[in-house]
């Protein structure tokens, strides 16, 4: 047997073995003694020894008796394949350490006038489950192997806690005798611990972790769905913007076409008015290029006349129909150029506004 403490040291302090299979009797003993003092093999050996002692007592009545044959056919009452051990096994194991178990509220308990607050430890049993309640230092702890950690029990709550266990059907045994020294007891003699949160049952914690994982998975699904819908919303917004820009482009093209038609009609009207106000020298409609060439010829002719006239003689104003027509046509060209420039500027302004709206 080893004297080294082992197991799980909970937040409240103290060595505590957690439940493995149905070896709660082993955990109960080691939590009581605060070390790995007993193994399943050692407890099984004690159980077999007890079975052999019972068999020998039954054999005293005759090995051919019905009771003896029935006893041999029955399974052991001190252990089973799941790892359960009886109170007799636990009691015999503690005798090795000079410890004795006394049933709570039994005649012997009453005779000894036991006060729970003055004791050092208790062993509790319900059906096939065993666990230890022990005082470490100056504080009581529930070292149940089914909990996630040691549970702190106040002095005022101890009697109520034990009474509650009795009402739930637990058998409670007072451990009488000197327990072996342990590190946790020495440490907690100097300090007191505080427990903010009561430890949960191992199954309860696993269920909560599972529920948290399920909730996390559901949350991730919701977030993924929201992300997907968000992407769809963004795509839809882009499509709406593209459609709006397309409609603006169509409207702009329509406006440009209408403006060009208006300019063409205006130019045609100006051309007709010019033709009506100006004497015509021919029946042909002159193009812009022809008008430009005539204006150049007119200015060259004027320049030649100025060079030929002597100084001091003012040149006569040309009064031919050709000069008048060129002058009027020059004015008409100026109006046409100005109108065309205004139209170009208007179209550029519209295009610039459209590009600005598209960037937004």
- Kindly state the average pLDDT of the residues 155-176: 95
pLDDT at 293: 77
* Length in residues, the chain: 360
Q: Please check the confidence at residue 26 and state whether its pLDDT lies above 50.
A: yes
Q: What is the residue-averaged pLDDT of the chain?
A: 76
Q: Please check the confidence at residue 275 and state whether its pLDDT lies above 90.
A: no
Query: Lowest mean pLDDT: which of 81-95, 250-264, 275-289?
Result: 275-289
Q: Judge residue 200's burial from the number of C-beta atoms within 10 Å of its C-beta, 0-12 exposed, 13-18 middle, 19 or more buried.
A: middle
> Helices marked H in the chain — which ranges?
24-33, 40-59, 66-73, 87-95, 107-111, 155-167, 183-190, 202-277, 288-308, 321-359
Contact 12, 195 (CB under 8 A): yes
CA angle 154, 159, 164 (to 5 degrees): 110
Spatial separation of the C-alpha atoms in residues 162 and 164, rounded to whole Å: 5
Query: Which of 273-277, 284-288, 303-307 ranks highest by mean pLDDT?
Result: 303-307
Spatial separation of the C-alpha atoms in residues 192 and 143, rounded to whole Å: 17
Q: What's the half-sphere exposure (Cβ side, CA atoms, 13 Å) at 272?
A: 6
Spatial separation of the C-alpha atoms in residues 278 and 326, rounded to whole Å: 10
> Helices marked H in 97-182 — which ranges?
107-111, 155-167
Question: pLDDT-derived band of residue 71, with 50, 70 and 90 as boundaries?
Answer: confident
Percentage of the chain surpassing pLDDT 90?
39
pLDDT at 289: 72
pLDDT at 283: 43
315 labelled catalytic: no
- Kindly state the average pLDDT of the residues 61-88: 87
pLDDT at 187: 94
Nearest to 125 by CA among 99, 149, 101: 101
pLDDT per position as a tens digit, 233-261: 666 777 777 777 766 666 666 666 666 66
Q: Which residue of the set 24, 28, 124, 182 is catalytic? A: 24
For the chain, domains (ranges, CATH) are: 24-204 (3.90.70.40)
pLDDT per position as a tens digit, 54-68: 999 888 888 888 888
H-helix or E-strand spanning residue 5: none
Question: pLDDT-derived band of residue 290, with 50, 70 and 90 as boundaries?
Answer: confident
Spatial separation of the C-alpha atoms in residues 116 and 122, rounded to whole Å: 9
Residue 83 neighbours by CB distance under 10 Å: 17
- Kindly state the average pLDDT of the residues 200-215: 74
Any residues with CB less than 8 A from the CB of 227 and at least 6 apart, and which? none
Nearest to 193 by CA among 136, 119, 126, 117: 136
Q: Who wins on pLDDT, 201 or 345?
A: 201
The DSSP-derived string for 15-33 is: EEPPP-TT-HHHHHHHHHH
Q: Which residue of the set 28, 142, 144, 182 is catalytic? A: 144
Q: Who wins on pLDDT, 246 or 93?
A: 93
**Residue the block writes with tokens 């482009």:** 249
- Kindly state the average pLDDT of the residues 107-118: 93
pLDDT at 9: 44
- In the chain the first and final C-alpha atoms are separated, in Å, by 83
Q: Please check the confidence at residue 171 and state whether its pLDDT lies above 90.
A: yes
Question: pLDDT-derived band of residue 301, with 50, 70 and 90 as boundaries?
Answer: confident
Any residues with CB less than 8 A from the CB of 26 and at least 6 apart, and which? 17, 38, 39, 40, 43, 83, 85
144 labelled catalytic: yes
pLDDT at 324: 46
Contact 141, 198 (CB under 8 A): no
Q: What global pTM score does this model have?
A: 0.53
Q: Please check the confidence at residue 282 and state whether its pLDDT lies above 50.
A: no
The token pair at 1 is 């047997």
Contact 328, 277 (CB under 8 A): yes
Q: What are φ and ψ of residue 131, in 5° steps?
A: -155, 165
Query: Lowest mean pLDDT: which of 14-18, 155-159, 221-225, 349-353?
Result: 14-18
Q: Which residue of the set 31, 129, 142, 182 is catalytic? A: 129
Nearest to 145 by CA among 135, 134, 136, 132: 132
Question: pLDDT-derived band of residue 11, with 50, 70 and 90 as boundaries?
Answer: very low
Spatial separation of the C-alpha atoms in residues 279 and 281, rounded to whole Å: 7
pLDDT per position as a tens digit, 341-360: 555 665 566 566 555 555 55
């Amino acid at each position: 047997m080893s004297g080294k403490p082992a197991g799980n040291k909970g937040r409240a302090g103290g060595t505590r073995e957690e439940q493995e299979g149905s070896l709660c009797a082993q955990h109960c003993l080691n939590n009581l003694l605060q070390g790995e003092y007993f193994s399943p093999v050692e407890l099984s050996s004690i159980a077999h020894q007890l079975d052999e002692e019972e068999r020998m007592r039954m054999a005293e009545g005759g090995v051919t008796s019905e009771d003896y044959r029935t006893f041999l056919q029955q399974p052991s009452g001190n252990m089973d394949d799941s790892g359960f051990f009886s109170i007799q096994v636990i009691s015999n194991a503690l005798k090795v350490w000079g410890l004795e178990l006394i049933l709570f509220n039994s005649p012997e308990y009453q005779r000894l006038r036991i006060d729970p607050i003055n004791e050092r430890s208790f062993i509790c049993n319900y059906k096939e489950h065993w666990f230890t309640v022990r005082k470490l230092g100056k504080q009581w702890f529930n070292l149940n192997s089914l909990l996630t950690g040691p549970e702190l029990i106040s002095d005022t709550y101890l009697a109520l806690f034990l009474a509650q266990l009795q009402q739930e059907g637990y058998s409670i045994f007072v451990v009488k005798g000197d327990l072996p020294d342990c590190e946790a007891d020495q440490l907690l003699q100097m300090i007191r611990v505080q427990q903010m949160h009561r430890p949960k049952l191992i199954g309860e914690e696993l269920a909560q972790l599972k529920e948290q994982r399920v909730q996390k998975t559901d949350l991730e699904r919701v977030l993924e769905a929201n992300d997907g819908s968000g992407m769809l919303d963004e795509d839809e917004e882009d499509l709406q913007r593209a459609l709006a820009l397309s409609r603006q482009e169509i409207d702009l093209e329509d406006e440009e076409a209408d403006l060009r038609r208006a300019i063409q009609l205006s130019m045609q009207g100006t051309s007709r008015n010019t033709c009506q106000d100006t004497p015509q020298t021919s029946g042909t409609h002159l193009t812009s290029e022809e008008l430009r060439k005539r204006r150049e010829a007119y200015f060259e002719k004027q320049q030649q006349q100025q060079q030929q006239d002597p100084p001091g003689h003012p040149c006569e104003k040309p009064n031919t129909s050709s000069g008048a027509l060129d002058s009027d046509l020059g004015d008409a060209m100026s109006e046409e150029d100005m109108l065309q420039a205004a139209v170009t500027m208007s179209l550029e302004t519209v295009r610039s506004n459209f590009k600005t709206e598209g960037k937004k």
